[in-house]
Amino acid sequence: MNWKIEITEPHSGELGEAVKHEDHALAMEEYSYESGHQLDVFVHDVSDPHWHIFTDLDSGHRVKIPAQKYRRMA
């Protein structure tokens, strides 16, 4: 399932924190999105009320974004 989302509050994190297996330490690269940034994403998990996991289709990176820091556009 693909969505288009807009970041509503600045958000940054580490790429590896969104990967649910032992290899995640290999990709501990930081990422950052400013307010207003729009992303086309593949949806992995939006069942947790606090954290949603997506793959940014532009960069290919899997990211973990708090539910209150973005809004779904389409």
**Burial category of 65 from C-beta neighbours within 10 Å (exposed 0-12, middle 13-18, buried 19 and up):** buried
The Cα angle at residue 38 between residues 1 and 55, in degrees rounded to 5: 40
**Considering the domain 2-72 in this protein, what is its CATH number?**
2.30.30.40
Would you state the structure tokens that stand for residue 35, as one six-digit string? 């307010």
Write out the chain's pLDDT in tens, 74 residues. 999 999 999 999 887 676 665 555 555 678 899 999 999 999 999 999 999 999 999 988 889 999 999 999 97
pTM of the model: 0.84
Position 30 scores a pLDDT of 85
Distance CA 29, CA 56 (A): 14
Q: Where are the domains of the chain?
A: 2-72
Among the listed residues 50, 54, 45, the one whose alpha carbon sits nearest the alpha carbon of residue 4:
54
